[in-house]
Structure 1
Amino acid sequence: MTSPSTQTPSGAPPSPGGAGRVTEGSLVGTPKEGMIKPQLTGGDKVRATLGRMRPGIGHAVDAAFTVAVMACCLAGLRTVLFGWQWWQAAAVGVVLGLLVGHVQATYRWPIVATTALGAVLYLLLGGPLAVRDDVKWGFLPTGQTFKDLVGGPVTGWTDLLTLVPPVDARGPYLAVALFLGLVGTVLLYATARVTRSRLRLVATPFALLAVTIVIGTGQPAAQWVQGLLLALVLVGWLVARDHLDPDIGIARPGMRRPALSRVVQGALIVLVAALLGALVGPLLPGRDGESDRQVVRTGVVPGHDTSVLASPLSRYRDFTADSPTQLYERELLRVEGVPATTPMRLATLDTWDGSTWGVAGRGESRADAGRSFQQFGRRVGVLDGGNPTQVRVTVPEGGYGEGWLLTTGQVEGIEFLGSARERLEGKAWLNLSTNSVLVPPGLRPGDRYELRTELPAKGAGALPESLPVARGSMPMTGDTSFVDARIETWKGSSDDPWAQLRSIATTMREEGTYTDGAPSTGASSEAERAKIATIARNYPAGHGLGRLDRFLNSEELAGNDEQYAATLGLIGNRLGIPTRVVVGATATDDGLVRGRDVHAWVEVRLRDGSWFQLMPQTFVPSMTEQQTDTSRAPQAWDKPEVDPPPQPPPADPPPPEPVVDWSSPSTWPLWAQLLAVFVLLPLLVLALTPVVTAVRRAVRQRSGSADRRIGRSWNDLLEEARLLGVPLPAGGTRVEQARALGPRVDAVPAAMQADGLVFGEAPAHPDAVGQWHGELRRVRRRLRQATSFVTRVRATLDPRSLLSRHEDIGMHDSTTTTREAHR
């Protein structure tokens, strides 16, 4: 019953001193201060939400290492993309990836929301910050910008695999770098924020590294960066994370160095890695240079069908004096930057199929093998040395209009200028082994292009007495045996292939005659037209089997550069010298190339892989002094009987098996290396496991405080129980764990004694700890006796015990306070 003095009128406010009292008609007293949370405004909620995104020192460390790892991985694009713009695009992708990854890790968004945020940032910011080719006013994306951003990840990578690297960094190719930077950073940084697993952390960098290598080139982009620096950065990251997180890793607060057992484990891992490297390294592809390096682009064959364009050698007669094209005196091209008499090619032809010389060249060392023609741009190979020269070519009015471009030397890039840029940009095809350039749309009057090249030596007007030619031949699918009779007649007495080819070339020049066939105009009567038809029938154009057979089996050779170069090319390959035919022109003093400057010559390969040019004046008869008398038909040559070429000598007997140097694993036979790697080395690891475990256990029992020694020893017992197949309660106390070991083991007294030593009022005495360790050894002995022999052997050799990281820190351990403060 309430006292009248404490009652207040209904609805009257309570007195200031009456807080917490029950008022009339009230069942609950006034809430105390702090019991009701204040109502937050919208601004307060925004500030609280953004406050969660404030990064700490651990986040900053993860972000810094993420940037370093991404830089190492993306360096693999250095040989794929050319220009600083792709570095900018990749950097933008990394920054956006850090933002998206930070948001995802902070709020734990689902993957759908994270993908949506990343896509929005990619499309909105990718244009003004990275893919800037088509933006308006410097910041406004256009439809082409969005097309490049979407097309980059979808089809841009396929273009990277089919173009001659490095590709000009623009449009969809910049989007590829941006996309890789964004996705890789999101995966790496978000994973680092939400996981303690070292394996999950390094999975993303290794996957991104594999991607950049796969879409890369046969020439390594950054061996030291991706092979060594990346590994050092990852190791440093893992160590830094261990120091920042006291609950994981080997570095604890208050400790200046890791436990000795960890050092032993690290040394063992380094030893195993060194053995694997010594044994497996010599067997891996790529050890002998880039010719063995396999990437995706080496298996892609995007080549251009050269059969749609006529071989320039087949159209050689178009440039002669009597051709109806009237190109002989016409200005075809204007060339700047090339010294006079320098050979310039329209096409290099390296195969003969019985009807025509064509192109079958495959890539060589400075680019990727496996393809014929590939599209290319302003750069071919960023790592090539030398001093490239800029050569500018212009097509005058009424000039050259074919698809074979005039080039010279080793082509390092091409850039179309003026009106030709929009029409021909991205449509140039390069054959990497012959340096022939093809533009299928063809050139037009007024077109200009700039060639980046390493100029060749000037053409030689005489044949050297000796030349270190290579051995072999170009791919010949046609029958070339019809040249054997002339070879036998002209080769001379020398057995040296170059001396024979030199003698044949000299004989062709001195004993042959020159003719371009029938004139194209001037026939005013029926008799003249009949005469022209006869001459055309007797001395036709072409360099197929029928034409060259008639050319060689005439008493007097009669033809022009087309027949002489085609025949000498076949003879060179027949002699075992790799020989190919070139159609082009030599640079003139005034820089003008007319039809009369177009010629055909041959090149022979030298032992060092270079090509020596046999210019037309060394094997083609004089055009003015050795003209053919076309009034009479060619007489058949009474060729001598020629024995078929001798069979190649039998292969040398295989050398005796070399004596194996067993002191060097790299010289072991393959079976021995495989046996050592996959059998002996695992057995060695298993054999060392009990030794390392025993050493580790002894060190853990004798180092650190009493609490730490007891905790480690107990955890060693539990680890052994798990290896023996004994189920243990997760998160149980020592007594609960001891009971789970079973009555036969009788570990409860040891567990209770351990709790007494760890949680006692004073630190445990060393003698008491020693006695407890003796009891624990007896418990371990009973534990092993309770299992079968096979189980005990398996547990003894199980290397998982070396990976145990459990520790138990008690009340009196010096790091307890510091550890709790870091949680």
Structure 2
Amino acid sequence: MSTAVVEQETLASDTQAERTHQSSSAAASLRRLPWALDAVALGLLALAQVAAFLPAYGQGWIWVCVLGGTALGVLLAAVSMMRRWGPAPTVGVGLIAWFVLGGLLAMPDANVGYVVPTLRTLRGLAVGPVTAWRDVLTIAPPLGTTWNLMVVPLLVTFVGGIVSWTLARRSVRPTVAWMPSVLGVLIGFAVGTHVSVLPLVVAVGVLVIVVVWTALQRNRARTTLVRTVSSRRVPQLVSGIIVLAIAISATWALSGLVNPGQHRKVLRDEVVEPLNTKVWPSPLQGFRANISQQADTELFTVEGVEAGTFVRIATLEDYDGMTYNVANFDASQQALFTRVGARIADPTSGEHHNVLVKIDHYQGVWLPNVGATTDVTFDGNRRIAMSDSFYHSISSQTSVVATGIGQGDSYELEAVIPENPSVNEIENANIGNYQMSQLPVLPERVRELASVWSTGASNAGDSAKMIADRLSSTGWYSHGVDEEETVSLPGHSVSRITKLLEDENAMIGDDEQYSVTMALMCRELGIPARVVYGYVVGETGRAITGRDVRAFTEVNLEDLGWVRFDPTPSPDRILKEYNPTTSTQTRPHVDNPPPAPDRPDLNTPDDKSRADQPDNNDKKFRINFGAILRYFATVGLPLIIIFGPVVLILVVKARRRRARMYALRMSDRVSGGWAELLDTARDLGESVSPAATRSEQAARLVVTYPGLGTDANAERLARQADTSTFAPEPVTEEQANRYWQGVDSAVQTLRGTVTRRKAWLSRLSTRSFRRFR
């Protein structure tokens, strides 16, 4: 009896030992297997992140960025685990890897040969984690490798790879290792577009990966981790229900984002990008139209202000040589126009006014205001739309309603009208502290007269006053609209201002020319100045007509702020007799062409037709085709082989340039000029991303060729090209020709920065004919 019991106990012991051995072998296999399982799971989730980011960035380098970022993060976490690094060494090595390899993965165009980082690369990687998010949401997709925008997916996948691998291999909670990668998928969809790549496949795939990977992680944790039986241990069934609930919740969130049957909500829908005022023409361009077309038309009415009050339409600070326009950004590249809340925090002090404005025939986006606006209350049927699209610039005291205003609209302003400084305060004021955008190259005549007219001035305010007095006292007033008026061309381009200053004793123009001239003269003397455009409330009533249009010059002076000057002569100062042929402009002397030589008599007796002459020279004119073929084979063919491609490239480039320069549409000529500049840079070895905006392309060129920021301003050319493309006003042939002159100057600057040999070889380069990849 006892023997049987002993045998049974021995058999049970052997069976238990065998089970223990099998369990140990299985545990050892599971300890080896999860390395591959974790890598496969993270790789599949990385593919889901590619699908999430793909609509925003487009096909191409996003695959390298996401997969490479995940692999780099996993590799760093694995090395950290093997070397038993703590958080500090891991973060330190991660930063080194970020700056060494981040350029290859996120900014390949900024690297040398795609591999070696440049200063531009390091700067982009340094600021990208903070600033790239904003740009990703405000720049229209596909983003491609524009600037440092791919830093966003690289940061998400790099950090996600590190955290996921660390959770899977080094933490006591390996079942949540999927969370960073799924968060990356959610971020990709959030910053994406309304179009998804295989949305249902991605959602279901993520669910399957999460459930399977979590189950395997739980099994590994149960068989390899030493745990005491305690109340903390969750029963397997309850744990499985929790994991499944979490996975289903994540899938539900994903399906809500990627459901192709609904209008998806993405973050870019909620982000308001800075207002771009350059899409509208300069309001100063319509100055003369007020006189010629709307002189007696009631534009709007103003209540609550005295006669003589200036109603501001817009403040103009950016001058590109053709037009004075409203600035988008200040010197620190901060947006000037912002949405406002309950009130406008303008610190201007002065007399408070409640002003009621009712719009009649006035149209546009520029909201008429008075002084420094502190609050706007819109009325009427469009009050909500107008309020939602209202922007204001405190520094320029200009207001915009992006949806436009028109007949029937009305609103109430709370405004502060500052007190005008005295003449003595102006004459003793120094230059104010206000940074302005760079001016184009102006004619020497502007600076010369500004220096002469301000001779003896004690301060900046005195200089500005002397210039204003000289223009108003010696200039002549004329709109040039009526036949009895003296001829006066509209506009305020460099050529028009040059024409105005040709003869300082015969200057003819109106507010448009004189205000711009004074502003440019002050700028040439280093004094901040700008032009303000608007209307002056008349003595007869509240109604504002086109005849009330005015333009002034504002100068920034220390302790006084912006001070308004009126450099325009009095309207009754009219030049009665003016003969353009007596202008002091020097004209080039052109000699009369010599008389044409006498032609011989065509009917001479010796003029016989070839048919009348005897054919006794047939041998003399016989063609030796054999000799020609031999000569061609020995000399001509090698020359064609050697020089044929050269001539072909030069001819094709010349035809391409001619087609761009003489396109039927003037705007196509301007955009063709910009393309000519980019092709020249590409032939020289500098390829800019075609997905980048013109401003970004110009910034890239300026970094590589600093001369384009001084001698030939590439950024100015980019702005002019954008203006010609998006502005409602058509481009004139003169503007297109002037733009091509700037392009030719920029091309010369480009070729002047390299050796002559490289410059000539660039003319034969075919890089500009190839498609971007």
TM-score, normalised to structure 1, is 0.35
TM-score, normalised to structure 2, is 0.38
Bigger proportion of residues as helix: 2
